[in-house]
Each structure stands twice: as structure tokens, then as C-alpha cells.
Amino acid sequence: MEKTPEIRPWIARISPEIVPPSLKDNTADVDRLVKAAKKTLDSEEVSVDFPLVKHLPGRLRKYDYRVDAVLFWDKKRWHLIDILPHQDGKGIYGLAVDLGSSTVVVQLIDLSTQETKDETSFHNPQLEMGTDILTRIHFAAQEGGLEKLQGILIERLNQEIERLVQRDGIEIDSVVGMSAAGNTTMTHLFLGLDPYWICREPYIPVINKPELIRSVELGLRINPGAPVLVFPDVGSYFGGDLIAGILASGMTHQSEISFLVDVGTNAEVVIGNSDWLMACAGAAGPALEGGVADMGMMAGPGVIDKVTIDLSTYEFKTRTIDNQRPVGICGSGLIDLVAQLFLAGMIDLRGKYVAKRCGDLLTEIDGINHLVIVPPENSGTGQPLTLSQIDIDGLIRSKAAMYTILTTISNTVNIPMNEISRFYVAGTFGSYIDPISAITIGMIPDLPLETYVPLGNTSLKGAGMALRSEDARDEIFRIRDQITYLELNVNQEFMNLFSAAKFIPHTDSSLFPSVNPVRGGGE
């Protein structure tokens, strides 16, 4: 992640010199404040929205015209957000928000020092109305559904923000800005916009580039005049979360070509550099997130996130979150597990169990092979944790889809994989994936390990960057307009690539020279 050393904020607190009224200068209160602010900001363009006009005289007089003004710059004008007592020693704050469909993360940023002050996260309360995006879109179409989806999210955000500012001893009115990044549907639900057409041909969002919105218009209980920056979307399948990822990666500041990948139910891929960007998104299936496997679950206490197999004893060594007894496996653990099974020769290059290597651990339930990963006596549930052939097949389809998308986009721009200088992995989930395991199963290309850069929560990082800096804010709109979106045509060529990628690591093993299984079981 590259960053310019100097940050030009677009939300500013200033101390204008206001001469109190006299018979010699009976300029009106609002005009007086605007005049002083223009001088301090050295700008002719200072605007006061009407709802603020009513309250200004009382507050100006209360503080004896010794006030600070907080304003934001929208590229054409400074807009007054509020006035505060002159240099009261209290800061001004902003919120960066990752509008995840599963988890929402809120960061409190001190806009005077640019420092991150606190952070909180919570499950998206919309999960109640549907775990996946499609269910929520259908829910929104019901009578009052959209209002409920927006309302429950905003209300929870308000509660969490209130808790955050109380914990940090901050007044809610000193929270004067917000920046939020989410996928296209989450953005719509946050704004109370109907997502109906997002999932219906020809897939038209209500809006791609929302302007700055005052917090009061969204029902947010921060300073009512605070501007809310909502990340723009490219289209229905490529949202503001990805724009935030591109911003956070810094790939648009480099002449070398990078990949940015967000791994999830949808595999979202961006390739490009400072001159051009091409993006593509396709269904990878929920297998990569561990959502489908029998023992699969979201990361949490007792969830296996790392697996190794002792090649001498064929014993599974599992690491669980919080070191609790294992109760399931998350996506990164599953990728590890399948990679290890392959390296140990317990599955073949088609991903099928090799009976002679698996021995007693392989049992058949309803005619389907299951491998016991954790016996009941060691498990946190009292039941054995098993991985079925179906689970493996699902993961292989998902990893094949991911690799096919990467191949398709690099073929389209005619850039061979070995010319990729950086392979950024966006998203919290991506950070947990061991690139060696991902390469082993053929999910991502076999590049030098230092090429892989996990970025963590890039929605949050990008939102924070755009909240702090005008340049970053401008850049998200430049990024958005620069992206060429590649529509994936599931044609014969795609299907051929996909079929070739459904092997471990690939039918063409020369693409993965670093992967060396111990005597492939099927051979």
C-alpha cells in the first residue's frame, strides 16, 4: 500500500476571525460567519445549507462569536457542517465503515490527527432477513421490506457508534463525517434504494455514483450536517468494496502490473496498473468460504483454520481459533486440508479419495466417502468431524472457477502470469489463506511467494483513506471510471479452461512447478 506523504483533508476545522456585530458593521449573522470563513479558507465558495441557518445566530451569540467552523469541500464549494466553541480542545472525528453483508466494521478516526482511534465490528443485522444477498433483494421487494433492511442496519450502526463514542469520551456532534464501502447491493440497502433490478437482466443499479449525502438524510445519529461518502459502484457485480480494495492496494500508483483478488462467494479479480484497470467477477461458489462443507463454518472459536498432515504418521495436526477443541473448519482451513491431503497422496489429482492411503479414516456414509479429520474423542462437538467427497468436489469447482477467471482476464489483456509483479489478496478472509496451500490446489497461479500480498480488510482501509484525504476521495471516482469491466462469457473456451483447472493443481502440471506431491495416490 502506497501513500502520499502529505494528506489534504476534505473535512476541515477552522478558526475564522469573526468581528462581532456593531452599528458600524451590521452584516447578518450567517453572512458574517461566511465572510470570515471565506477569508480563512481563501475561497469565494462557502455555502450554508438552509437547516443550519436557523440555529447559527443563537449559537454564535452563545459563544460570543468566538467559534470554530467545520466544513467539507465537495470539489466546487465548502459546505458548513457545524460550528463549535473556539478551540475547545476537543477534536473532530469521522467514521470509516466496511458495509459487509456478513460483518460490518466501523473505525473511529481522529480527523485532526488522522489517527485511527478505535474500531468495532458486528454481524450485519440484515442476516436475520437472509444470509445471502439474493434473499435480501427478494426480502426488499416485500411490503416494507426495504425500509426494514435499511432501518435495522442504520439502527444497529447508530447503537455501535454511540457505544464507540462513549467508550472514547467523544461527543456525538463532533463526529462530522463518514465514509462507507460495500458491494452494490449493500450500498443500496444502506441508502434505502431498491435493489430489485440489480439481480434482474440487464442488471441495473439505482445509482453508481452517489453524491455526498448529509447524515441526517440517512437517519444516522452523528452530527446531522456530516457528509457521508458512499463508495461508487462499477455495476451490479462490482461494487464499492472492490473500489476500496483497489485504492487500498495502491496498484494504481505502480507501473508494474498487479492482480487484486477478493476471494468469496464471488471471485472478484482486477488486473492493471497506473494506466489501466480491467475487472471481472464470477461465481466461485461458497465452498471457498467454507460455507458448504459438512464441517464448514465461518471463522470463530474452535474453528480449524490451519491443517498439516504428518507425512510419516498420516496424523492431522489442526490449529483452531482460540485453541478450543475443534468444532468445524473455515475456508482457509479447508484449503489447507485439501492441499495437505493431495500432498500426502490421500486424494488424487481429480480430488478423489485414495482408499489405500486413507486407511481406517475413510468411512462410507450413505454411499459417499467421508474422511475422519477429528475423531469424536478429540472434537468439541462429541461427534467426529469428517470431510466428504462432495465437500472436496465443491472446493475443486470453486478453485477451478477462480483460476479460470484469472486465466481468462490475463488472456484477455495478453499478460502472462509471470509478468504479474504483485498478487494482492483483499478481504479479511483472504488474509487467512496460506498462499502455498492455495497454489498447491491450483487456485492461484504458481508465482514466487513474495508476490502474494494479503491486505486484510481493504473495504475498511479504503474507506478510511478516502475519509482522510481529498486525493484518495478523488481517486475512487477516477478508479471507478477507469475500470473496464470484462463480462464473463461462459462459452466453450471458458468451459475448456474450467475443465482443465478442475484437477489438482491443474491438467497442465507445468503451470505449477513448485507443487510436488509425495507419490500421487492415483498414479
In the complex with a copy of itself, which residue's Cβ is closer, 196 or 512? Answer: 196
In the complex with a copy of itself, which residue's Cβ is closer, 21 or 380? Answer: 21
DSSP one-letter string for 226-284: -EEEE---SBTTB-HHHHHHHHHHTGGG-SS-EEEEE-SSEEEEEEE-SS-EEEEEEE-
CB of 408 vs a copy of itself, minimal distance in Å: 18
CB of 250 vs a copy of itself, minimal distance in Å: 27
DSSP one-letter string for 488-502: ----HHHHHHHHHHT
DSSP state of 100: -
CA-to-CA dists, residue 408 to 263, 448, 486, 488, angstroms: 16, 21, 10, 8
CB of 309 vs a copy of itself, minimal distance in Å: 46
> What is the Cα–Cα distance from 286 to 509, expressed in whole angstroms?
26
> What is the Cα–Cα distance from 482 to 485, expressed in whole angstroms?
9
Give Cβ neighbours of residue 273 (< 8 Å, ≥ 6 apart). 251, 252, 254, 255, 256, 257, 258
> What is the Cα–Cα distance from 380 to 194, expressed in whole angstroms?
43
In the complex with a copy of itself, which residue's Cβ is closer, 19 or 311? Answer: 19
Binding site for a copy of itself (CB under 8 A): 21-23, 26-32, 45, 47-51, 53-54, 56-58, 76-77, 191-194, 197, 201-211, 213-214, 217, 233, 235-236, 487
Please identify which residue in the block is written with the cell numbers 504483485. 422
Coil/strand/helix, residue 131? coil
In the complex with a copy of itself, which residue's Cβ is closer, 218 or 395? Answer: 218
CB of 26 vs a copy of itself, minimal distance in Å: 5
CB of 191 vs a copy of itself, minimal distance in Å: 8
In the complex with a copy of itself, which residue's Cβ is closer, 77 or 317? Answer: 77
In the complex with a copy of itself, which residue's Cβ is closer, 210 or 427? Answer: 210
Q: At what angle do helices 145-167 and 184-191 cross, to 10 degrees?
A: 90
In the complex with a copy of itself, which residue's Cβ is closer, 205 or 384? Answer: 205
φ/ψ region of 58 (left if φ > 0, alpha if ψ in -120 to 50, else beta) reads: alpha
CB of 54 vs a copy of itself, minimal distance in Å: 6
CB of 468 vs a copy of itself, minimal distance in Å: 23
CB of 275 vs a copy of itself, minimal distance in Å: 23
Q: Report yes or no: 298 and 339 within 8 Å, Cβ to Cβ.
A: no
In the complex with a copy of itself, which residue's Cβ is closer, 133 or 334? Answer: 133
In the complex with a copy of itself, which residue's Cβ is closer, 100 or 235? Answer: 235
In the complex with a copy of itself, which residue's Cβ is closer, 89 or 202? Answer: 202
In the complex with a copy of itself, which residue's Cβ is closer, 210 or 394? Answer: 210
CB of 62 vs a copy of itself, minimal distance in Å: 13
Complete edge-to-edge strand list for the sheet that includes strand 277-283: 452-456, 422-426, 258-262, 266-272, 277-283, 483-485
CB of 22 vs a copy of itself, minimal distance in Å: 5
CB of 208 vs a copy of itself, minimal distance in Å: 4
Q: Report yes or no: 297 and 330 within 8 Å, Cβ to Cβ.
A: yes
CA-to-CA dists, residue 243 to 204, 286, 485, angstroms: 18, 22, 12
CB of 490 vs a copy of itself, minimal distance in Å: 14
DSSP lists the bridge partners of residue 385 as 374
CB of 315 vs a copy of itself, minimal distance in Å: 52
Q: Report yes or no: 246 and 268 within 8 Å, Cβ to Cβ.
A: no
The 10 Å Cβ neighbour count of residue 357 is: 19
In the complex with a copy of itself, which residue's Cβ is closer, 192 or 285? Answer: 192
φ/ψ region of 189 (left if φ > 0, alpha if ψ in -120 to 50, else beta) reads: alpha
Amino acid at 142: Q
In the complex with a copy of itself, which residue's Cβ is closer, 48 or 299? Answer: 48
Q: Report yes or no: 46 and 77 within 8 Å, Cβ to Cβ.
A: yes
> What is the Cα–Cα distance from 52 to 492, expressed in whole angstroms?
61
> What is the Cα–Cα distance from 408 to 249, expressed in whole angstroms?
22
